[in-house]
Amino acid sequence: MEKRIKGFSKLSKQAKMEWLAKAHLANPTEGLTLMQSYMHSDAQIQKRHDEFIENTVANYFLPFGVAPNFLINGEVYTLPMAIEESSVVAAAAKSAQFWMARGGFHSEIISSTKIGHIHFMFDGDTEALKSVFAELSVELKQATSHITANMEKRGGGILDIQLVDKTAALAEYYQVEVRFDTRDSMGANFINSCLEEMAKVLKRGVAQAETTAASHLDVVMCILSNYTPECLVRCEVHCALEDMVEGTDMTAMEFAHKFQRAVRIAEVEPYRAATHNKGIMNGIDAVILATGNDFRAVEAACHAYAARDGQYRSLTHCSVEDGLFRFWIEIPLSLGTVGGLTQLHPLVKMALEMLGNPGAHQLMMIVAASGLAQNFAALRALTTTGIQKGHMKMHLLNILNQLGATETEKEIIAAQFAKLVPHHADVVKAFYDLRGLPVPGAH
């Protein structure tokens, strides 16, 4: 069947599913049944999901787990986590418990300003542009008043508007750099709308001014920046060095020093830093997704921040001084607890309710704790027993599910591997041995 199609978006949902199944799947009937089986039984809820994006043909499930016992700034939270990777939720819960007994997580907001730009090219005199821009400053802000009125009522709005000369980096390139306080909303639509209104004023003003009228100003784009180094949160755990007991044969001092060295390696070595930060993002993304926030934006911001001095480095840091172990994270998190999916997705609504319907600042502090907890769990495993023990245990179930093991078979094989690292080939062999069958493909 022809794999290309014209006017796909205009087809009904059923017709889209049928075309997809026929054009791209080996067994169209099975494919269709599968897509249908992933639809929500409540038509209203399904319609809402259909309308989040275009061309919806099914829902894509991710497990929604919870990690209890997070003591953050004296409050106990149960963190909602949407993630497919085994062991992330278990690791978060384990870390939370460890730190619950040692005073918990201490989070603080450093700043919460968002930035957007009108990126434009101008071929005239820079000084003339500067003076026209100065004259336009009131009008630039006024032009957005119909958009900012509500935000201002909530205490937010435009904080600052600057002209930035970027011609040293790229000929004729300038920016209008605008700072915003978007309160409890992530603010992407708000920021972009403001910038587009301002761009009209800028274009008109430069075309009309005597000193710049003969020059050419070309607005390239108006867009918020996902790099948010002025929307920062810091979270720390600390305890007396002797309380860093680990449950292995290492002393508290040995463990703390080994842990600190692992962090130092990620501070200086990009190969390790990428994996180290990926582990942090396991915790962060899971809460971000569960609370209906934009994990791609947060990933972009965190990785850009990790490379802010020109070298990609660890987002967490550690010190062992004067008998005190301290471990902390500092990350840019631009989050929203109103708007977007927050009131539309029933599970997102529930996730926010579980957290006590936090404002954006509170959610930033919770998410930072989740990232720190995840990194603590990963480094603790890596510097003591090794990562595979915990990881592969959780992975055992995935392997058995892939093989189609029954519940009884899962129990028997899990018991066999209770004290062993379940390498894939060994689990496959145990499964076929249990069924009295030869391993497929084995000689």
Token pair for 429: 């062999």
387 near ligand MEV, judged by CB under 6 A: yes
* Shortest distance, position 367 Cβ to ligand MEV, whole Å: 17
Are 273 and 200 a contacting pair, CB within 8 Å?
no
Residue 339: how many other CB atoms lie within 10 Å: 17
**Phi, psi at residue 141, to the nearest 5°?**
-75, -40
* Shortest distance, position 276 Cβ to ligand MEV, whole Å: 5
Judged by beta carbon, residue 273 or residue 367, the one nearer ligand MEV is 273
Judged by beta carbon, residue 107 or residue 282, the one nearer ligand MEV is 282
Q: Comparing C-alpha atoms, which of 146, 152, 145 is closest to residue 181?
A: 152
Burial degree of 338 (CB within 10 A; 0-12, 13-18, 19+):
middle
86, 148, 282, 337: which one binds ligand MEV (CB under 6 A):
282
Sketch the per residue contact string, 62 through 101, with ligand MEV: x for CB under 6 A, - otherwise.
Answer: -----------------------x----------------
Tell me, by CB under 6 A, how many residues bind ligand MEV: 9
393 near ligand MEV, judged by CB under 6 A: no
Q: Comparing C-alpha atoms, which of 186, 115, 228 is closest to residue 342?
A: 186
Burial degree of 207 (CB within 10 A; 0-12, 13-18, 19+):
middle
104 near ligand MEV, judged by CB under 6 A: no
**Phi, psi at residue 218, to the nearest 5°?**
-125, 115
Unique residue bearing structure tokens 């947060």: 298
275 near ligand MEV, judged by CB under 6 A: yes
Are 275 and 387 a contacting pair, CB within 8 Å?
no
342 near ligand MEV, judged by CB under 6 A: no
303 near ligand MEV, judged by CB under 6 A: no
Please state, in angstroms and rounded to a whole number, the distance separating the CA atoms of residues 242 and 237: 15
* Shortest distance, position 270 Cβ to ligand MEV, whole Å: 14
Residue 56: how many other CB atoms lie within 10 Å: 18
Burial degree of 40 (CB within 10 A; 0-12, 13-18, 19+):
middle
* Shortest distance, position 334 Cβ to ligand MEV, whole Å: 24
Please state, in angstroms and rounded to a whole number, the distance separating the CA atoms of residues 41 and 35: 13
Residues labelled as active-site residues: 85, 278, 294, 391
Region binding ligand MEV by CB under 6 A among candidate stretches 35-43, 169-177, 191-199, 275-283: 275-283
Q: Comparing C-alpha atoms, which of 423, 422, 428 is closest to residue 442?
A: 428
Region binding ligand MEV by CB under 6 A among candidate stretches 29-37, 273-281, 325-333, 409-417: 273-281
Unique residue bearing structure tokens 């954006």: 360
302 near ligand MEV, judged by CB under 6 A: no
* Shortest distance, position 300 Cβ to ligand MEV, whole Å: 19
Unique residue bearing structure tokens 């990620």: 266
Region binding ligand MEV by CB under 6 A among candidate stretches 13-21, 271-279, 302-310, 345-353: 271-279
Q: Which residue, judged by CB position, is nearest to ligand MEV in the bound state? A: 279
226 near ligand MEV, judged by CB under 6 A: no
317 near ligand MEV, judged by CB under 6 A: no
Region binding ligand MEV by CB under 6 A among candidate stretches 115-123, 201-209, 276-284, 410-418: 276-284
- Helix (H) or strand (E) run with residue 268 in it: helix 252-268
Judged by beta carbon, residue 378 or residue 427, the one nearer ligand MEV is 378
394 near ligand MEV, judged by CB under 6 A: no
276 near ligand MEV, judged by CB under 6 A: yes
* Shortest distance, position 373 Cβ to ligand MEV, whole Å: 13
Judged by beta carbon, residue 85 or residue 254, the one nearer ligand MEV is 85
Q: How far are the Cα atoms of 102, 200, 206, 207, 234 from residue 218, in angstroms, in the given order?
A: 57, 11, 10, 11, 40
Judged by beta carbon, residue 128 or residue 273, the one nearer ligand MEV is 273
278 near ligand MEV, judged by CB under 6 A: yes
Q: How many residues does the chain have?
A: 443
Token pair for 396: 């055992």
Residues that bind ligand MEV (CB under 6 A): 85, 275-276, 278-279, 282, 378, 382, 387
